[in-house]
Amino acid sequence: MKEIVSIMDVDIDKITLREANEKVKDFLKKEKPSIIYTPNTEIIMAADKDPFLKDILNDGDLTIADGIGLVYAARIKNKDLPERVTGYDLSLNILEIANKFGYSIFLLGGKEGIGEIAKEKIKQKYPNVKIVGVQNGYFKGTHIGFKDHKEEKKVISDINKSKADILFVGLGAPKQEFWIHENKTKLNNKVIIGNGGTIDHLAGIVKRAPQIYQNLGIEWLYRLIKEPNRIKRQKVLPLFVLKVLFSKNIIR
Ligand code: UDP
> Using CA of residue 205, residue 210, residue 216, residue 218, what is the dihedral sign?
negative
Beta bridge partners of 130: 104
**CA-nearest residue, atom 5 of ligand 1:** 171
Pick the CATH number of 17-203 from 3.30.2010, 2.40.50, 3.40.50, 1.10.10: 3.40.50
Cα-to-centroid distance, 209 and ligand 1 (Å)? 17
Pick from 15, 103, 105, 92: nearest CA to 61: 15
Quickly state the pLDDT bin for 241 (edges 50, 70, 90): confident
Q: How far is CA 242 from CA 45, 73, 77, 232, 238, in A?
A: 12, 10, 13, 18, 6
* Percent share of the chain, pLDDT over 90: 79
> Using CA of residue 143, residue 189, residue 85, residue 93, what is the dihedral sign?
negative
Lowest mean pLDDT among 81-90, 155-164, 243-252: 243-252
Domain map of the chain by residue range?
17-203
Quickly state the pLDDT bin for 89 (edges 50, 70, 90): very high
Ligand 1 lining (C-beta closer than 6 Å): 109-111, 137-138, 143-144, 170-173, 175, 196-197, 199-200
Q: Could you report the per-residue pLDDT of 103-117, keeping only the tens digit for each?
A: 999 999 999 999 999
Residues 15 and 175: their CA atoms lie apart, in Å, by 25
Quickly state the pLDDT bin for 221 (edges 50, 70, 90): confident
Evaluate whether 26 touches 218 at the Cβ level (below 8 Å). Answer: no
Residues 250 and 244: their CA atoms lie apart, in Å, by 7
The pLDDT value recorded for residue 81 is 95
pTM of the model: 0.94
Nearest atom in ligand 1 to 227's CA:
19
**CA-nearest residue, atom 22 of ligand 1:** 172
- Residue 233 confidence (pLDDT) above 80: no
Q: Could you report the per-residue pLDDT of 48-67, keeping only the tens digit for each?
A: 999 999 999 999 999 999 99
Could you count the other beta carbons within 10 Å of the beta carbon of residue 153? 13
Over residues 112-141, mean pLDDT:
98
